[in-house]
Amino acid sequence: MNTNDRTMSQMMKEGCADLHDKAEHAKVPSRMVSGLMTKDEYCQMLQQDAIWNKALDTAILKRRADNPYLMALVDDIQFQGPYFDQDLAHFGIADDCQPTPGVVAMCKTIEDAASNDHLTLLGLHYVREGANNGNSYVAKKLRAAWGIEGDDGLRSMDPYGNNQRALWEKFKTILDAQEFSSEEKDHMVKAGRVMFERVMAIHEDLAAATA
Ligand code: HEM
């Protein structure tokens, strides 16, 4: 199978595997998985992540109606802003914090893509949506560490609950049914890699604030 025969989801997975490995083992995800992250740290992360998630929702909403790929792939349940609002409300915190440099960079990438680059928007969204696979596992670890049950406060980490695996498979099936050109596939992988870098930079900001 040459590169052109690889499905989009295979190309995204393989093209970002090195960065996934790096992102998964960085300090902030490791603190969550090992149960060391405090609720205070988690709330700081929620505030920062709410900013860029809402920016990405807004950008996709602005472009979705006139783009067939975004129309085919992005359901309203994938907009993460409402899940962050529920989590922020649960912890009684506002979403008016100062964005860290990593969040500013993420918002700039989203804003640039919103103006003229729907494929980058889709690549960014793919990584956000795919990250729910790991986040749902991380949410289990946090529930255990904090001795809580249920979804309150953790909806943005685990928005789909028991439907996570099925919804991810559906997303990939629809993605792989799109007739992307090989240039478009390469463009998406590049956007996915940018997204991993942006998320890691935000995690580094949070880790530095904790140190
Ligand atoms: C503790 C941290 C993490 C864990 C344990 C984890 C774990 C996982 C797992 C188990 C999958 C499913 C793989 C499959 O279906 O074959 C996955 C997929 C994915 N994760 Fe993560 N992940 C973590 C962090 C992250 C982060 C920080 C990001 C994004 C910045 C991310 C982005 C993705 C993406 C895009 C996918 C779908 C593509 C793929 O299957 O490789 N993950 N992750």
* pLDDT(107) > 50: yes
The pLDDT assigned to 3 comes to: 56
Q: How confident is the model at residue 1 (pLDDT cuts 50, 70, 90)?
A: very low
Q: Which residue's CA lies nearest to atom 34 of ligand 1?
A: 130
The pLDDT assigned to 4 comes to: 62
From the number of C-beta atoms within 10 Å of its C-beta (0-12, 13-18, 19+), residue 190 rates as: middle
For residue range 128-153, list pLDDT tens digits in order.
999 999 999 999 999 999 999 889 99
The pLDDT assigned to 111 comes to: 97
The pLDDT assigned to 141 comes to: 96
Q: How confident is the model at residue 211 (pLDDT cuts 50, 70, 90)?
A: confident
CA of 136 to the centre of ligand 1 (A): 10
* pLDDT(51) > 60: yes
The CATH class for the domain spanning 3-210 reads mainly alpha
Tell me the H-state helices in the chain.
8-24, 27-33, 39-64, 68-73, 81-91, 101-116, 118-146, 164-177, 182-210
The pLDDT assigned to 96 comes to: 82
Mutate to test the pocket of ligand 1, among 10, 21, 24 (most ligand atoms within 8 A of CB): 24
At which residue do the structure tokens 């085919």 appear? 72
What count of other Cβ atoms lies within 10 Å of the Cβ of residue 132?
Answer: 21
CA of 130 to the centre of ligand 1 (A): 6
For residue range 147-194, list pLDDT tens digits in order.
998 899 999 999 999 999 999 999 999 999 999 999 999 999 999 999
Q: Which residue's CA lies nearest to atom 33 of ligand 1?
A: 131
CA of 84 to the centre of ligand 1 (A): 19
DSSP code of residue 98: P
Structural domain spans, the chain? 3-210
Q: How confident is the model at residue 27 (pLDDT cuts 50, 70, 90)?
A: very high
Is 24 near ligand 1, meaning CB less than 6 Å away?
yes
CA of 158 to the centre of ligand 1 (A): 13
The pLDDT assigned to 210 comes to: 83
From the number of C-beta atoms within 10 Å of its C-beta (0-12, 13-18, 19+), residue 104 rates as: middle
- Mean residue pLDDT of the chain comes to 96
Question: What DSSP string runs through 3-59?
Answer: GGGS-HHHHHHHHHHHHHHHHHTSHHHHHHHTT---HHHHHHHHHHHHHHHHHHHHH
